[in-house]
Amino acid sequence: MTTPVPPDDCIFCKIVAGDLPAEVVHASDSSVAFKDLNPQAPTHFLVIPRSHYANAAELAVHEPSALADLFTTARDVAEEKGLEGYRAVFNTGAAAQQTVFHAHLHVLAGRELTWPPG
């Protein structure tokens, strides 16, 4: 399998590179977590891999350890923020409302989250 080439206009790649500003809440060698610009809960941050894959499924195939790191990072940030619980969500594909095609984990907390979601 070949590694996808990121598009030149990927905003998350630009955040990773430091070319676009973001309110970073955590960074490691393999991931970056930052506040969502359009929060859907009082606490809403994204965790992205530094490497570019269009979605979580592609990331799982090519870099399963990076996928696991997204969840570890989500846990670490949640603990740092003292969250009692949180929801971790991947949107995969336009039909699921994915709008930035760079794998990213939404972490939402700070209010009662209903089930089923949206």
Question: What does each C-alpha distance from 75 to 16, 39, 55, 68, 70 come to in angstroms?
Answer: 20, 19, 20, 11, 9
Provide, rounded to the nearest whole percent, the portion of the chain with pLDDT above 70.
94
Q: Is residue 50 part of a domain?
A: yes
Q: Number of structural domains, the chain? A: 1
User: How many other CB atoms are found less than 10 A from the CB of residue 58?
Assistant: 18
Q: Which residue numbers are catalytic?
A: 104
**CATH number, domain containing residue 29:** 3.30.428.10
Domain housing 18? 11-109
Residues sharing a CB contact under 8 Å with residue 39, sequence separation 6 or more, in sequence order: none
Q: pLDDT for 59-105, tens place per residue?
A: 999 999 999 999 999 999 999 999 999 999 999 999 999 999 999 99
Q: Is residue 4 part of a domain?
A: no
Q: What global pTM score does this model have?
A: 0.92
Q: CA-CA distance, 20 to 118, in Å (whole number)?
A: 30
